[in-house]
């Protein structure tokens, strides 16, 4: 048995590399993500499945040479590698002899590619859930609500199908005012045909690409944007207020001083239900309300009024009762001042808030602000094991082989562990109507 295991180990290693390449070429989010923390488990002083990293500091400017000292607000975000993925395949001795004549090479052609395809789909679709903050933390059982956009483009009802709309989305994205280098757009593949007819043919793929990927659509050079498509962009199922199209009216906020509003109590829910608001719902202050000013975000850097309407994301489910519902939101809204000020006006009773229906997500990403980690898994002793890690992308894939004594069962397992996060202020969600697919 020991000599047989040694031979299998060599064979496993021989086709593991091709499986790794296949996984990467099928995963748009893995392939295009920031791999800064690809091996964070090896970082000195880092223990556990979480790595915490700094976000850019924010400062205000004084119109004087006698400016007061201001404190440093060290902002942080975390990447949690808590997602496990595996495909396990069992075969009998007869199947190994009669159906897989050439051993592992035949297995790779017959079953291995399909296993990798299934694994790649699961990994990439899990990462894509960040676009609506829908990744479920397997350690806590809670959603990773710290990840994902709070700004958005579209209303979930009107089709996104034109060159002009995409240009307008990019304008809002950049107008917010932080670094947007390396702009990436992630389209659901269902919207591409209609956009092509109105000018997306101007997005030209790079010539002589080293790899040809079905998800790489091209570049929009005037906007310095890279365009990607995916059939795995998630569907967000809205709460009942969004399904009903309710317009909510502000009653009160949890912080009347305006330093950090994280809850807004509203009236106007048309249905009393435990599912009035769902975590991941996006909302927006309505313009043109009689007696109320239009709400606009300040630029993220510089604190000047932007063209962006004030949009935010629910971070918890909420129940409506008697038409009232309390929204728990991100980001914290601040009109009082300091380096977290982000509103041009105070939130006041009587202002109105728009809700939005269920939709398929697309996304815009700046500054390479989607991080993915896939730590290298240990060998599965005493079974023949091969773990391959790509030095550029950080993708790590493990394959091992074993048998059940006296059970006439042999098994192969492909497995990986992943973690992902999208920096909220450097991203934007697209609300694509479900009627577009």
Q: What is the domain-level CATH number for residue 325?
A: 2.40.10
d(CA 286, CA 354): 6
127 lies in some domain: yes
The verdict on 128 and 42 lying in the same domain is yes
Please indicate, yes or no, whether residues 292 and 402 belong to a single structural domain of this protein: no
pLDDT computed for residue 212 by the predictor: 44
Question: Are residues 222 and 171 part of one domain?
Answer: yes
**pLDDT category, 292, cuts 50, 70, 90?**
very high
Q: How far apart are CA 347 and CA 333, in angstroms?
A: 9
* pLDDT over threshold 60, residue 196: yes
In a domain, 204, yes or no: yes
Tell me: do 8 and 112 sit in the same domain.
Answer: yes
216/229 Cα distance (integer angstroms): 7
Render the burial of 242-263: b for 16+ CB within 10 Å, e for the rest: bbbebebbbbebeeeebeebbe
**Assigned domain for 66 exists:** no
Share of the chain above pLDDT 90, in %: 47
Whether 69 is covered by a domain: the verdict is no
User: Which of 79, 15, 74 minimizes the C-alpha distance to 370?
Assistant: 79
Query: What is residue 270's predicted lDDT score, i.e. its pLDDT?
Result: 95
The 3-state DSSP class for residue 273 equals coil
Rounded-to-integer distance, Cα 112 and Cα 222, Å: 42
Is it the case that residue 2 has pLDDT exceeding 50? Answer: no
Residues 308 and 229 both lie in one domain:
no
Q: Are residues 245 and 324 in the same domain?
A: yes
Which of helix, strand or coil describes residue 88?
Answer: strand
3-state secondary structure of 301: coil
Q: Mean pLDDT check: name the lowest of 74-83, 201-210, 398-407.
A: 201-210
Q: What is the pLDDT of residue 269?
A: 97
Q: To the nearest whole number, what is the mean pLDDT of the chain?
A: 82
Whether 276 shows a pLDDT value over 90: the answer reads: yes
The residue from 327, 357, 387 where one domain ends is 357
147 within domain boundaries: no
**181 and 134 together in one domain:** no
Does the residue 308 lie in any domain?
Answer: yes
Q: Is residue 22 located within the same domain as residue 120?
A: yes
* Angle at the Cα of 331 from the Cα atoms of 183 and 80, rounded to 5 degrees: 70
- Vertex 409 angle, CA 404 and 410, to 5°: 85
Residue 115 shares a structural domain with residue 246: no
Output the pLDDT for position 353.
Answer: 98
CB 259 within 8 Å of CB 312: no
Query: What's the number of CA atoms in the CB half-sphere (13 Å) around residue 423?
Result: 22
pLDDT given at position 55: 65
Tell whether 201 and 131 lie within a shared domain.
no
Q: Which residue has the tokens 């790794």?
A: 20
Does residue 286 fall inside a structural domain?
yes
Lowest-pLDDT choice from 23-32, 254-263, 328-337, 351-360: 23-32
Rounded-to-integer distance, Cα 106 and Cα 422, Å: 39
Residue-number span of the structural domain to which 180 is assigned: 152-234+363-369+426-436
Instruction: For 323-346, give one letter per residue: b (16+ CB within 10 A) or e.
Output: bbbbbbbbbebbbeeebbbbbbbb
Distance CA 393, CA 270 (A): 48
Q: Are 251 and 331 part of one and the same domain? A: yes
Query: Is residue 69 pLDDT above 70, yes or no?
Result: no
**How many structural domains does the chain have?**
3
Domain membership flag for residue 253: yes
Q: What is the reported pLDDT for 47?
A: 39
From residue 22, give the alpha-carbon distance in Å to each of 115, 208, 239, 326: 11, 20, 38, 47
Exposure of 127 by Cβ count < 10 A (0-12 exposed, 13-18 middle, 19+ buried)?
buried
Two structure tokens written together for 299: 């630029």
Instruction: Write out pLDDT tens, residues 29-48.
Output: 988 888 776 655 554 334 34
CA gap 1, 41 in Å, rounded: 34
Between 352 and 340, where is the model more confident? 352
Q: What is the mean pLDDT of residues 298-306?
A: 92
| Same domain membership, residue 246 and residue 227 | no
Q: Spell out a b/e string for 402-433, using b for 16 or more CB atoms within 10 Å of the CB, else e.
A: bbeeeeeebebbbbbbbbbbbbbbbbbbbbbb
CA–CA separation, 299 and 74 (whole Å): 19
Least confident of 38-52, 74-88, 322-336: 38-52
Taking only the tens place, the pLDDT of each residue in 422-436 is: 999 999 999 999 999
């Amino acid at each position: 048995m020991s000599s047989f295991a040694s031979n299998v180990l060599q064979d496993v290693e021989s086709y593991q590399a091709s499986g790794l390449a296949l996984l990467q070429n099928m995963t748009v989010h893995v392939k295009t993500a920031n791999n800064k923390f690809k091996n964070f488990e090896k970082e000195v002083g880092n223990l556990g499945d979480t790595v915490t990293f700094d976000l850019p500091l924010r400062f205000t400017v004084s119109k004087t040479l006698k400016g007061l000292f201001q404190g440093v607000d060290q902002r942080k975000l975390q990447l949690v590698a808590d997602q496990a993925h595996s495909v396990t395949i069992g075969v009998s001795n007869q199947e190994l002899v009669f159906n897989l004549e050439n051993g592992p090479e035949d297995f790779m052609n017959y079953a291995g590619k399909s296993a990798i395809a299934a694994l790649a789909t699961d990994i990439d679709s899990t990462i894509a859930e960040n676009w609506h903050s829908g990744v479920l933390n397997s350690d806590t059982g809670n959603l990773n609500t710290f990840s994902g956009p709070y700004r958005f483009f579209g209303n979930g009802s009107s089709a996104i199908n034109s060159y002009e709309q995409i240009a307008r989305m990019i304008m809002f994205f950049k107008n917010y005012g932080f670094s947007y280098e390396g702009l990436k757009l992630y389209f659901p593949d269902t919207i591409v045909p209609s956009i092509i007819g109105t000018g997306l043919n101007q997005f030209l793929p790079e010539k002589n690409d080293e790899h040809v990927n079905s998800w790489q659509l091209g570049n929009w050079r005037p906007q310095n944007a890279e365009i990607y498509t995916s059939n795995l962009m998630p569907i967000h199922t809205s709460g009942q207020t969004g399904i009903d199209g309710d317009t909510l009216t502000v009653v009160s906020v949890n912080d009347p001083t305006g330093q950090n509003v994280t809850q807004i109590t509203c009236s106007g829910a048309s249905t009393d239900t435990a599912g009035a608001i769902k975590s991941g719902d996006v909302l927006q202050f309505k313009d043109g309300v009689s007696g109320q000013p239009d709400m606009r975000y300040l630029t993220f850097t510089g604190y000047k009024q932007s063209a962006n309407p004030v949009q935010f994301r629910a971070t918890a489910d909420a129940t409506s009762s008697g038409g009232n519902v309390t929204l728990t939101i991100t980001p914290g809204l601040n009109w009082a001042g300091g380096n977290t000020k982000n509103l041009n006006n105070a939130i006041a009773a009587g202002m109105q808030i728009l809700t939005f229906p269920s939709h398929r997500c697309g996304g815009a990403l700046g500054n390479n602000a989607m991080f993915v980690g896939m730590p290298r898994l240990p060998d599965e002793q005493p079974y023949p094991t091969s773990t391959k890690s790509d030095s550029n992308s950080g993708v790590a894939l493990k394959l091992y082989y074993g048998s059940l004594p006296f059970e006439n069962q042999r098994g192969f397992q492909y497995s990986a562990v992943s973690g992902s996060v999208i920096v909220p202020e450097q991203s934007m969600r697209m609300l694509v109507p479900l009627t577009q697919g």
